[in-house]
Structure 1
Amino acid sequence: MIKHIFFDLDHTIWDFDRNAQETLMELFEHYNLPSLGLDSPQNFIQTYTENNHQLWAEYHLGKITKEHLRSERFSKTFKELGVEPDLVPLAFEEDYVRISPTKTNLFEGSEKVLAYLQQKYTLHIISNGFKETTLTKMNLSNLNPYFEHVIISEDVGVNKPDPAVFTYALNKAGATKEESIMIGDSLEADIRGAQDFGMRAIFFNPLNRDKPADVKQQIVHLEELMLLF
């Protein structure tokens, strides 16, 4: 029955945390953050990652704006680590947004799996990521050839899990719910969003966290998809 496979991008194909870590290590040195009392890049990255994940969860649900997310994630991190607001590097967020999308680390097996699936199905992206960064990631990571459509929530006007995103995506692809499936890492945005809409979904769970009871199917490695399809 399945003809169309819709993938999330960040944390599913494009390794967001690894690419963010590389960028933050570069910026940690560039801005000499130890001079501000931040001696541990690992602690800085961990604190940022926790804040960023929390803010993205709120953004998925429409609780905050893109501008709030971008202004808050680093200011909150520096504040929690004891840096006075007037000492926070003003261009830190701007540099992060400029550099991070140019990183090209993908989850292991991504290209192999996409090449395999592309022979049998029509592949698409549905991303809540910001438009300009999403397009940069797709281009520099050489992902565009695998996907028929790249649906970005900013173009729709609402984020996953809003059913309007899935309606827009299916209309764009010329697909039905019954012949479509969503694969992503976010329980709320990707999995429950798709399931509540009436689409099948597969939870990508590379950290092998406990699977909630309402999640019907999961994988911990992308290459498992080659056994399922």
Structure 2
Amino acid sequence: MSVLITFDLDNTLWDVAPVIMRAEYAMESWFEERFPGFSHQHSTLAREALRNNILSTKPELAYNLTAVRLAVYKLALKQFGLPSEEADSVAGAALAHFCEWRQKVDLYPHVVDVLEVLRQDYALAVITNGNADVFHPYVGLGQYFDFAIRADEVGVAKPDPSVFMIAARNAGVDISELIHIGDHPTDDVFGSSNAGAKSVWFNRHGAQRWSDDWGGRSHAEIHSLLELPTVIQSLLP
């Protein structure tokens, strides 16, 4: 039996909050060096308001965090006074700078050890709604994964079942042969289970209690990534 193990990234292989915080600080400095006063006029809070306005008029962008950020930068730069063509060009450069910082993650303990073990017996892949690039040198995990499905690249996001179907199809396995690991009760657990795959809820340190409002339970729950090899084996026929 062929088995595909897919992983969420943010808050499954690393804590995303400090990554985004560092990246936002880096962007404030980037903008301020080039356009003094920009960061004061367009603080993180102000850019969040722009983001909400953009999504209210273009809800179809909700799955594409990269496109939304680019649109925010363009609008903010135009409001700051840059001509449209220059604003578009600068926004593209700003996005590239952000994406570089976005990859500077600090892996949770045991991530590499567990992937080393799993890679011996299973095909591994990524399914993420974020814009982290698992093959980027800063992340340093590309050698363990066969491919990555990113919402901003395929135009569909978890918990939509089709994103899991895409992963299964890429690996040449039936959806019933896919086991997805992630921290999010809806995007990861409900999404993969609803698609017909098996789900493993990564409830780090057992810090959360399952809420009935989240829907059906996962096929398994782990509190440490070290539990994964044994749990995956238990889910196989």
| Fold match (TM-score > 0.5) | yes
Structure 2 residue aligned with 1:195, among 173, 188, 193? 193
Alignment-derived partner of residue 122 in structure 2: 121
Q: State the match for 1:101 in structure 2.
A: 102
* Distance (whole Å) between structure 1 residues aligned to residue 209 and residue 61 of structure 2: 26
CA–CA distance in structure 2, aligned partners of residues 158 and 63 of structure 1: 10
Q: TM-score, normalized by length of structure 2?
A: 0.67
Between the aligned partners of 1:10 and 1:157, the Cα distance in structure 2 is 19
Distance 2:21 2:96 in 1: 14
Match of 2:217 in 1: 215
Task: Tell me, in whole angstroms, the C-alpha distance in 2 between the residues paired with 1:185 and 1:222.
Answer: 11
Give the partner amino acid of 1:196: N
- 1:99-137 per-residue CA deviation (whole Å, 9 max, x = no partner) reads 42341311221101101111121111112233xx52564
2:84 is aligned to none
Give secondary structure in 2 for the equivalent of 1:134. coil
Equivalent pair of 1:62/1:158 in contact (CA under 8 Å): no
Moved more, 8-17 or 23-32: 23-32
Which of the two has higher C-alpha Rg? 2
Task: Give the aligned residue type for 2:139.
Answer: S
Bigger RCO of structures 1 and 2 (CA < 8 A, at least 6 apart): 1
Q: CA deviation at 1:25?
A: 4.4
Partner of 1:82: none
Q: CA deviation at 1:29?
A: 6.3
Counterpart of 1:165 (choices 144, 163, 166) is 163
Q: What is the count of residue pairs matched by the alignment? A: 211
CA gap of 1:114–1:177, structure 2 versus 1, over 3 A, is same
Change (3 A) 1:68 1:145: closer
* Structure 1 residue ranges, 4+ long, deviating more than 6 angstroms after superposition: 90-93
Q: Is contact 1:11-1:185 (8 Å) kept?
A: yes
Over 3 Å counting, the alpha-carbon distance change for 1:182 and 1:65 in structure 2 is closer
User: How well do the aligned residues superpose, as a CA RMSD in angstroms?
Assistant: 4.2
Distance 2:208 2:192 in 1: 20
Equivalent pairs: percent with the same residue?
A: 27
Matching residue of 2:113: 112
Residue matched to 1:177: 175
In structure 2, how many angstroms separate the alpha carbons of the residues matched to 1:168 and 1:144? 19
Separation in 1, partners of 2:155, 2:68: 16
Amino acid at match of 1:212: S
Instruction: Label 1:63 to 1:154 Cα distance change in 2 as closer, same or farther (>3 A).
Output: closer
- In the TM superposition, 1:51-90 aligns within 5 A as 64=62, 66=64, 67-68=67-68, 71=71
Q: Letter of the 1:211 partner, please give it.
A: W
What secondary structure is seen at the aligned counterpart in 1 of 2:190?
Answer: helix
Tell me, yes or no, if the aligned pair for 2:63 and 2:157 is still in contact at 8 Å.
no
1:172-201: CA deviations, max 9, x gaps?
A: 101112222111122222111111111110
Paired residue type of 1:3:
V
